[in-house]
Structure 1
Amino acid sequence: MKDLFWHLVGIATGLKILLIPAYHSTDFEVHRNWLAITHSLPLDRWYVEATSEWTLDYPPFFAHFEWLLSQVAKYVDPRMLEVQNLNYESKATVYFQRLSVIVTDLVYVLGVRSCLGSLGLARNSQQHFAGSMLLLLNVGLLFVDHIHFQYNGFLFGLLLLSIGSLIRQRFLWSAFIFAVLLNFKHIFLYLAPAFGVYLLRFYCLEQVNVVSTSLAFVKLLAVGLSPFVLSLGPFWRQLPEVFGRLFPFKRGLTHAYWAPNFWAIYNTADKVAAGVLKVEGSSTSSGLVQEVRHSVLPTIQPPVTFVLTVIFMLPILVKLFRSPKSQSPLVFLRSVVLCGCSSFVFGWHVHEKAILMVLIPLCLLTLVNREDARYAYILSIAGYFSLFPLLFDADLYIPRYSLYLSYVAMLYGQLYRIFPNFRGFHALEWIYMLGFLTIPLYEHLLAFLLHLDKRLPFLPLLLTSVYAALGVLYFFGAYYLYALGFTWGKATSSSSSSVKRKRKTK
């Protein structure tokens, strides 16, 4: 079978080009403003400039990335680089920014290639083809980057390059790439415990004696810290301003649209209790990013979310530390997924887009183990659906539903091709997944027939957030128990041997 990887790259690129004229969110203006700031102002003004409400709040490497793009942008339309020119979106600006996302996705392509190779998947195997499809045509990245507008593909490319290097036991190279990633977007800090434990256990502590261990630790520290020195060094006088922008704890517990996590359920429970008890309090669904206080339930502060996140990361990290070397790559991937999921479920002011930190690494596990694939499918149904509120424009209804349904159908088909004896899902899991059909039915039909679209305009958002949260929490609990070795029914965990078999596939 011919290697179809680059054919799929071409298909994905063509699809992204077709989406260039699509609606874009305020994130488009965010990045245009960052282009202007980094191009027009000196370094010491980047993290204090506040002409626009969309201030620079990514780490310095990303700021320099915007500066680099601005060196090309000045030849396309210099007016997009004026700080005072708010909400500027000429046709040239739109095409430049859209194409910049597509071009920088080359890093993502390289990351996908690296990870598939590190898993030992033969290029003519069904697993390699399926992995290429699931990652290169990932519907979440199409939604968030190529319609909504962001640069997540480029960033996830760095993550995949780091994962691929780690699985290949190129430890220092992996640590360096991951440290670079953190200085592009600090949200990936939530995945750092998995990388840290793996590197400590299987690089530092695997050395033959104390001297070698100490030397390995020094090397790892030097390689890991050097990107931080290069990134933050030029801003050493503005570090308070930089960290103030990177960690804005004055934002509320939840975003304007609640990410489908534990706090969405918590907010809903508070609202229901306030209604039953007829208690009035501050709103948690005003559509604004603000600090809120719950009406009945205890108000949650940032330290609570931090402690919960750390507590729920610990079990899988302990298992990773104790795992034998032969099983460590698989346990590491599950640790990445569960560390990302812990932060998504319990983190402070989580954006709905952060579910991609769980879903994209999970694509790799889908290829090598039947049970991982089963859980991945359930989370995919809930997680990708939860991104719909990002694409709220009526013109996007057909693209969002068609892309979503095509992707989940493709995923389901690939599961049966990879795992011939795949038996699917329990009855309650099927009922839950099919239940997502009722949300668009209500939003686009019943709400109008029952005249609820004006009385309860927030209800479709609430239903999407809460119903998807049920699936995310189910995945988190059930998959965590499975990853720790608590299974029911027949065992399905012959993953290491399945990877070895695929390496022999011709």
Structure 2
Amino acid sequence: MSYIQMEPAKRRTKYEKAYPKVKKPFSDLFWCAGIATCIKLLLIPSYHSTDFEVHRNWLALTHSLPLSRWYFDSTSPWTLDYPPLFAFFERLLSTFAHFVDPQIVHLQDGLNYSSPTAVLFQRLSVIVSDVSLFYGTYRLARNWDPKTRNLMWVLVFFSPGLLIVDHVHFQYNGFLLGILLLSLSFLEEGRDLMGGFLFAILLCFKHLFAVAAPLYFVYLLRHYCWNGSNGYFKGILRLLSMGSVVAAVFAAAFTPFLYHDHAQIQQILRRLFPFGRGLCHAYWAPNFWVFYIALDKGLAFLLTRLGFDIQVPSGSFTGGLVGDSSPFAILPRITPFVTFIMVLISMSPSLVIAWRNPQPRMITRWVPYAYTCSFLFGWHVHEKASLHFVIPLSFVAIQSIDDMGHYFLLSIVSYYSLFPLLYEAQEYPVKLLLLLLYSAVMWFGFSLQSSELATVESNKPLQKGDDKSGLQGSSNATRSDGGWLCMGWLDKGYLLGILFVEMWGQILQPFLLGNKLPFLPLMMISVYCGLGIMYSWIWQLRRIIVLAL
């Protein structure tokens, strides 16, 4: 009997068997979160990017201007382009910023203001908002055994990606990912209404998370509304209740702007979806379009050498231009619609599987896959978006021997691809040490975890009707060697290749080429890491299909 055909009471019993209730002490959580917070405090004096000024300007405009002008203001180049709930979040922070240092929220005179007081306040605002990440991680793993739970907290709280992007580069990804993890935790428990409510809140904080909306829609429609045990009338009522909850969230976020002027919504949408920014971000994200651009440049170079008259566009991706969306010499121009279709097609296997058999415990695997599809094929993808799938996938990897090797490779590749964000020399030892220590902890933790999983699974008889994915979702959980690093020589050789890429950029490039081809190290990182992300996408797709059979 499939999961969807079970009665609700039986589904709840099956979930409780898979996640037996264990003692949930907060002491380990506090210790782990406390140590992570101390590391973040040590990073306060480090480099910060233009995103620091972006968020400082948002503090100023939400504090100084009436709500009707928030999305129209252009005092600074860094205009407000996040959804309304994040704007209200900035408005809340600006209230405290005004008491700390009034210059922080001064719209005109505060441009590029980065006094020690301003840096301290904004850094602390990110650190405090990470409470969302702590609680989301705790809630999603709170019923696991203590050793697994503690390892999970280490993997998330000490993530080099979050430390680099949020607490050095400067953003609020931990805060937003915490809301996503909370939503997933409720969905895994079968509390779909609450899970959908939290996801709607997340979308009103940052619209880029909407890539998983088709998956949420299909899953909730099938699991919450029409799950086999609900009749047609009850399904309609549940659909209306879910729709009402989601609509209420969006109404609370957008209605204050609609009240002032109907043109407000159009202006907000223009800010949220600036399709004129171009196919790629200034620093190429390691995705599919890296290879497309590289192929176009290679063909143009080859045909020019063969005597063909090739008109090379004035815009150049290697120049870091954001506004030019079509600097292609040979290959067809890519439009936002093309990327949308590619993302939807690549995501379709998970949509079909979620419709046919919507298992709550698989949602944490499906959602990261959706974000991987968006990262690979989406329009104007930021390299930082890899956090959207790397962090949730850690919850999958820690429960599966098969997935541990994949996550080990993916996390190293993804976090290494963020290195160019910290380009100053004084931050180089920090990012290198963070990645090396994290890799060592992963290796040691996964080794212990895989041995325990192998022992448990070898002593556990398989009963008829059991979920094939199991708690671990691993077909190799009973291997006699208990090893977790299921990578061949090609995978291990690929990881070693990262050393060559880094050595080229740091040592060989300056020595051999000097100031020639300054874009080459960045391009090598994007292309090389793009291979790893493409491999991860194929791996995730394969695992989703195998576990569904």
- Fold match by TM threshold 0.5: yes
Bigger CA drift: 401-410 or 27-36?
401-410
Alpha carbons of 1:40 and 1:298: their partners in 2 closer, same or farther (altered >3 Å)?
A: same
Q: 3-state SS of the aligned residue for 2:380? A: coil
Q: Kindly state the Cα deviation for residue 454 of structure 1 after the two structures are TM-superposed.
A: 0.4
- Aligned pair partner of 1:322 in 341, 356, 367: 356
Q: Kindly state the Cα deviation for residue 423 of structure 1 after the two structures are TM-superposed.
A: 4.3
Structure 1 counterpart of 2:126: 101
Q: Note if contact 2:37-2:127 (Cα within 8 Å) is conserved in structure 1.
A: yes
Structure 2 counterpart of 1:463: 524
Structure 1 counterpart of 2:220: 199
Structure 1 counterpart of 2:498: 436
Q: Give me the whole-angstrom Cα distance separating, in 2, the residues matched to 1:89 and 1:381.
A: 32
What letter corresponds to residue 138 of structure 2 in structure 1?
R
Q: Kindly state the Cα deviation for residue 77 of structure 1 after the two structures are TM-superposed.
A: 0.6
Q: Note if contact 1:44-1:235 (Cα within 8 Å) is conserved in structure 2.
A: yes
Q: Would you say 1:380 and 2:401 are equivalent positions?
A: no
Q: Note if contact 2:446-2:484 (Cα within 8 Å) is conserved in structure 1.
A: no
Q: Would you say 1:285 and 2:300 are equivalent positions?
A: no
Structure 2 counterpart of 1:121: 144
Q: Note if contact 2:160-2:431 (Cα within 8 Å) is conserved in structure 1.
A: no
Q: Would you say 1:398 and 2:429 are equivalent positions?
A: yes
Q: Note if contact 1:194-1:332 (Cα within 8 Å) is conserved in structure 2.
A: no
Q: Would you say 1:222 and 2:244 are equivalent positions?
A: yes
Q: Give me the whole-angstrom Cα distance separating, in 1, the residues matched to 2:392 and 2:268.
A: 29
Q: Kindly state the Cα deviation for residue 453 of structure 1 after the two structures are TM-superposed.
A: 3.6
Alpha carbons of 1:197 and 1:486: their partners in 2 closer, same or farther (altered >3 Å)?
A: closer
Q: Kindly state the Cα deviation for residue 5 of structure 1 after the two structures are TM-superposed.
A: 2.0
What letter corresponds to residue 253 of structure 1 in structure 2?
L
Q: 3-state SS of the aligned residue for 2:276? A: coil
Deviations 1:139-165 (A, max 9, x none): 111010000000111101111111111
Q: Note if contact 1:309-1:347 (Cα within 8 Å) is conserved in structure 2.
A: yes
Q: Kindly state the Cα deviation for residue 44 of structure 1 after the two structures are TM-superposed.
A: 0.8
Q: Give me the whole-angstrom Cα distance separating, in 2, the residues matched to 1:182 and 1:473.
A: 26
What letter corresponds to residue 365 of structure 1 in structure 2?
V
Q: Kindly state the Cα deviation for residue 170 of structure 1 after the two structures are TM-superposed.
A: 1.4
Structure 2 counterpart of 1:504: none
Q: Note if contact 1:284-1:294 (Cα within 8 Å) is conserved in structure 2.
A: no
Q: Give me the whole-angstrom Cα distance separating, in 2, the residues matched to 1:88 and 1:360.
A: 32
Deviations 1:420-468 (A, max 9, x none): 2124211000000110001221111111221x24001111100100000
Q: Would you say 1:340 and 2:365 are equivalent positions?
A: no
Structure 2 counterpart of 1:490: none
Aligned positions, number = 480
Deviations 1:54-111 (A, max 9, x none): 0000000000000000000011110111111210111110000000000111111110
Q: Note if contact 2:450-2:484 (Cα within 8 Å) is conserved in structure 1.
A: no
Q: Would you say 1:42 and 2:66 are equivalent positions?
A: yes
What letter corresponds to residue 435 of structure 1 in structure 2?
G
Structure 2 counterpart of 1:231: 253
Q: Kindly state the Cα deviation for residue 290 of structure 1 after the two structures are TM-superposed.
A: 1.6
Bigger CA drift: 50-59 or 478-487?
478-487
- Aligned pair partner of 1:92 in 103, 114, 117: 117
Structure 1 counterpart of 2:483: 422
Q: Kindly state the Cα deviation for residue 331 of structure 1 after the two structures are TM-superposed.
A: 2.5
What letter corresponds to residue 442 of structure 1 in structure 2?
W
Alpha carbons of 1:453 and 1:190: their partners in 2 closer, same or farther (altered >3 Å)?
A: farther
Report 1:340-359 matches (<5 A): 340-359=371-390
Report 1:174-323 matches (<5 A): 174-206=195-227, 207-236=229-258, 237=262, 238-278=264-304, 279=310, 280-281=312-313, 282-291=315-324, 292-323=326-357
Q: Give me the whole-angstrom Cα distance separating, in 2, the residues matched to 1:423 and 1:177.
A: 34
Q: Unpaired runs of 5+ in structure 2? A: 1-22, 305-309, 452-481
- Aligned pair partner of 1:66 in 90, 96, 108: 90
Bigger CA drift: 441-450 or 101-110?
441-450
* Aligned-pair identity (%): 44
Q: Would you say 1:24 and 2:16 are equivalent positions?
A: no
Q: 3-state SS of the aligned residue for 1:250? A: helix
Structure 2 counterpart of 1:445: 507
- Aligned pair partner of 1:171 in 192, 196, 203: 192
What letter corresponds to residue 288 of structure 1 in structure 2?
L
Q: Kindly state the Cα deviation for residue 472 of structure 1 after the two structures are TM-superposed.
A: 0.4
What letter corresponds to residue 214 of structure 1 in structure 2?
I
Q: 3-state SS of the aligned residue for 1:484? A: helix
Q: Kindly state the Cα deviation for residue 194 of structure 1 after the two structures are TM-superposed.
A: 2.2
Q: Give me the whole-angstrom Cα distance separating, in 2, the residues matched to 1:308 and 1:336.
A: 17
Deviations 1:192-219 (A, max 9, x none): 2222222111111125312211111110
Q: Note if contact 1:415-1:422 (Cα within 8 Å) is conserved in structure 2.
A: no
What letter corresponds to residue 540 of structure 2 in structure 1?
Y
**Larger Rg over CA atoms:** 2
Q: Note if contact 2:405-2:484 (Cα within 8 Å) is conserved in structure 1.
A: no
Deviations 1:387-420 (A, max 9, x none): 0111111111100100011112211221111102
Deviations 1:277-300 (A, max 9, x none): 123223122112122321111111
Structure 1 counterpart of 2:474: none
Q: Note if contact 2:402-2:484 (Cα within 8 Å) is conserved in structure 1.
A: no
Deviations 1:119-139 (A, max 9, x none): x302x2x21111010011111
Q: Note if contact 2:404-2:484 (Cα within 8 Å) is conserved in structure 1.
A: no
Bigger CA drift: 274-283 or 58-67?
274-283
Bigger CA drift: 341-350 or 368-377?
368-377
What letter corresponds to residue 348 of structure 2 in structure 1?
L
Deviations 1:247-297 (A, max 9, x none): 000011000100000001111111111111123223122112122321111
Q: CA RMSD in A?
A: 1.5
Structure 2 counterpart of 1:503: none
Deviations 1:287-317 (A, max 9, x none): 1212232111111111100000000111111
- Aligned pair partner of 1:407 in 404, 421, 438: 438
Alpha carbons of 1:423 and 1:91: their partners in 2 closer, same or farther (altered >3 Å)?
A: closer
